[in-house]
């Protein structure tokens, strides 16, 4: 990076090729969103969801030509804890005739945080499936920890096994275990041990199952070129350029510095699991696409499969590969006569479209058009 304004190029695989999309900086205080008072920045799961719904209502009132179009909510990572809450609130309001002009049809979630225990406990099984830990260690930790790998453990043998697993995973890139082990945009306390000296796996994942890897501030001053987070430095300089902000119509003086993920944002984590929301939305007939990059150890696909299984949905399309051209792009299972779809993205990380944009656009296009993957 030479200090100049980073140059943008068109993304040939943007999902806007398949749908009109509103990108929302939420909760308030993230991205370019702002509040004129401290009270407006105080937020949590339910406030986040309610404000997002209010924004959507106001936007559709201002743009009524879009109100009759099919609407799908979407997000990835921690959005998995919020999108189902918003969707259910829309569903309940629609049924009670309290809301008009929102034609919700379903939602799309990528590597979604969903259930703190399931997401956290699945990391050990994932590590074993990726040949990161041995058969012997895996069998031992299952017995000593009795399948519970998060939280504080008083069992010394369990703590010993978890520490052995931490040694095996500490130098891996958790968003994609196949990526190089690059320096992360996180503080020292978010590395191997927390302030109490607990290991990575032993650290409680509730209330935020992926908080440890989302405590970002500004970018590293000198990230290694070729590392995936090198782009964070470029984005930081681009988004904080005055001419860029003017072009984006950002109100002058509303934010001091654009930060990719502000760890100082006051936020109350109120929901430990949204599995029941998925169950109720499915019973109401809303469509869902849940997809997972299969090399993500932050929210492993194994945990996602576990909570989907707990819904007890009827399989309507058996596990099979889905293709892009002559290549296998991942695997897919359909449930409830196709209304609920789970797909993996082969080789993908925590944000799968970042790794395989062509394949993920094909997946989204087919699903949004109600075609088989």
pLDDT for residue 209? 32
Task: Tell me how far apart the alpha carbons of residues 205 and 201 are, in angstroms, rounded to a whole number.
Answer: 9
Quick one: DSSP state of residue 273? B
Residue 210 resides in a domain: no
Residue 72 resides in a domain: yes
Supply the residues annotated as catalytic.
Answer: 77, 296, 350
pLDDT > 70 fraction of the chain, expressed in percent and rounded: 88
pLDDT for residue 185? 56
| Collapsed DSSP state (helix, strand, coil) of residue 252 | coil
By CB neighbour count within 10 A (0-12 exposed, 13-18 middle, 19+ buried), where does 156 fall? exposed
Residue 202 resides in a domain: no
pLDDT for residue 98? 73
Contact 289, 109 (CB under 8 A): yes
pLDDT for residue 175? 94
The strand pairing partners of 371, in sequence order, are none
- Verify cis geometry, omega within 30 degrees of 0, for the bond prior to 232: no
pLDDT for residue 199? 38
Task: Tell me how far apart the alpha carbons of residues 291 and 204 are, in angstroms, rounded to a whole number.
Answer: 25
Residue 126 resides in a domain: no
Structure tokens at 235: 């984005």
**H or E stretch at 352:** helix 352-355
Predicted confidence pLDDT, tens digits, the chain (373 residues): 677 888 888 999 999 999 999 999 999 999 999 998 888 888 999 999 999 999 999 999 999 999 999 999 999 999 999 999 999 999 998 888 877 779 999 999 999 999 999 999 999 999 999 999 999 999 999 999 999 998 776 689 999 999 999 999 999 999 999 999 887 654 333 333 333 333 344 443 333 332 343 334 455 566 777 788 888 888 999 999 999 999 999 999 999 899 988 878 889 999 999 999 999 999 999 999 999 999 999 999 999 999 999 999 999 999 999 999 999 999 999 999 889 999 999 999 999 999 999 999 999 999 999 999 9
Torsion of CA 129, 130, 136, 139, to 10 degrees: -30
**H or E stretch at 316:** strand 315-324
User: What's the first-to-final CA gap in the chain, in angstroms?
Assistant: 39
pLDDT for residue 220? 55
Quick one: DSSP state of residue 87? H
The strand pairing partners of 247, in sequence order, are none
- What is the domain range of residue 321? 18-29+40-114+275-368
* Beta strands across the sheet bearing 315-324: 71-76, 104-110, 287-293, 340-345, 327-335, 315-324
**Packing angle, helices 275-283 and 83-95, rounded to 10:** 40
pLDDT tens profile 132-149: 999 999 999 999 999 999
Structure tokens at 143: 């017995």
Residue 173 resides in a domain: no
pLDDT tens profile 156-197: 999 999 999 999 999 999 999 999 988 765 433 333 333 333
pLDDT for residue 153? 67
pLDDT tens profile 339-370: 999 999 999 999 999 999 999 999 999 999 99
Instruction: Name the domain count of the chain.
Output: 1
Task: Tell me how far apart the alpha carbons of residues 130 and 294 are, in angstroms, rounded to a whole number.
Answer: 10
Residue 219 resides in a domain: no
Residue 315 resides in a domain: yes
Residue 6 resides in a domain: no
pLDDT for residue 191? 35
pLDDT for residue 198? 35
CATH of the domain at 314: 3.40.50.1820
The strand pairing partners of 104, in sequence order, are 71
């Amino acid at each position: 990076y030479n200090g100049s304004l980073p140059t943008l190029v068109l993304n040939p695989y943007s999902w806007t090729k398949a749908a009109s999309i509103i990108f929302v900086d939420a909760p308030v205080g993230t991205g370019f969103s702002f509040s004129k008072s401290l009270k407006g920045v105080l937020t949590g799961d339910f406030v986040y969801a309610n404000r997002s719904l209010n924004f959507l209502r106001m936007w559709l009132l201002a743009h009524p030509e879009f109100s009759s179009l099919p609407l799908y909510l979407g997000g990835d990572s921690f959005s998995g804890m919020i999108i189902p809450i918003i969707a259910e609130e829309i569903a309940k309001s629609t049924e009670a005739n309290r809301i008009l002009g929102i034609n919700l049809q379903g939602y799309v979630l990528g590597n979604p945080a969903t259930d703190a225990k399931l997401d956290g406990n699945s990391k050990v099984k994932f590590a074993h499936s990726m040949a990161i830990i041995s058969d012997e260690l895996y069998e031992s930790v299952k017995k000593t920890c009795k399948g519970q790998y998060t939280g504080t453990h008083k069992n010394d043998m369990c703590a010993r096994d978890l520490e052995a697993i931490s040694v095996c995973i500490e130098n891996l890139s958790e968003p994609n275990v196949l990526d190089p082990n690059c320096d992360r945009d996180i503080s020292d306390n978010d590395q191997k041990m927390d302030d109490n000296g607990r290991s990575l796996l032993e650290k409680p994942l509730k209330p935020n199952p992926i908080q440890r890897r989302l405590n970002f501030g500004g970018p590293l001053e000198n990230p290694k070129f070729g590392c995936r987070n090198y782009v964070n430095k470029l984005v930081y300089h681009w988004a904080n350029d005055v001419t860029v902000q003017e072009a984006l119509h950002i109100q002058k003086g509303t934010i001091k510095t654009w930060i990719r993920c502000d760890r100082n944002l006051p936020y109350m984590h109120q929901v430990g699991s949204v599995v029941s929301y998925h169950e109720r939305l499915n019973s109401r007939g809303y469509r869902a696409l849940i997809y997972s990059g299969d090399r993500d150890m932050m929210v492993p696909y194994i945990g996602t499969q576990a909570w989907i299984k707990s819904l007890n949905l009827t399989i309507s399309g058996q596990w099979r590969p889905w293709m892009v051209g002559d290549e296998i792009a991942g695997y897919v299972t359909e449930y409830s006569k196709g209304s609920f779809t789970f797909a993996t993205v082969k080789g993908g990380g925590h944000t799968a479209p970042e790794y395989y944009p062509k394949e993920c656009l094909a997946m989204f296009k087919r699903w949004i058009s109600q075609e088989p993957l």
